[in-house]
Amino acid sequence: MQWPYPSAITETLYRNVKRLSLNKNRVLNDVKKITIFLVLFFLNYRSWQSRYVFSVFSNKSKKITIKFS
């Protein structure tokens, strides 16, 4: 007996694994961005200076600067 369409089965499995890995990478990148932002925020907030300036790059590559005076 032969397996029914082994190449198709392996192809679908490969596609699903690839999709999962892509989603995982995207989520990990978002988590990294958020954690870096929070660390910078708390460091800048705790250091008592006159102004706290840090920039965050959004997905559309627009620069957002937040200033505390």
Note whether residue 40 is domain-resident.
yes
**pLDDT of 26 higher than 60:** yes
Note whether residue 57 is domain-resident.
yes
**pLDDT of 32 higher than 80:** yes
pTM of the complete model: 0.36
4, burial (CB in 10 Å: exposed 0-12, middle 13-18, buried 19+): exposed
Q: Which two tokens stand for residue 14?
A: 């490969």
Instruction: List the one residue out of 49, 18, 6 whose CA is nearest residue 68.
Output: 49
Find the domain containing 21 and state its range.
6-68
Distances (CA, A) of 40 to 3, 34, 50, 68: 56, 10, 16, 13
What is the pLDDT, as a whole number, of residue 69?
43
What is the pLDDT, as a whole number, of residue 6?
62
Band (57; pLDDT cuts 50, 70, 90): very low
* Residue 18 DSSP SS3: helix
Domain count, the chain: 1
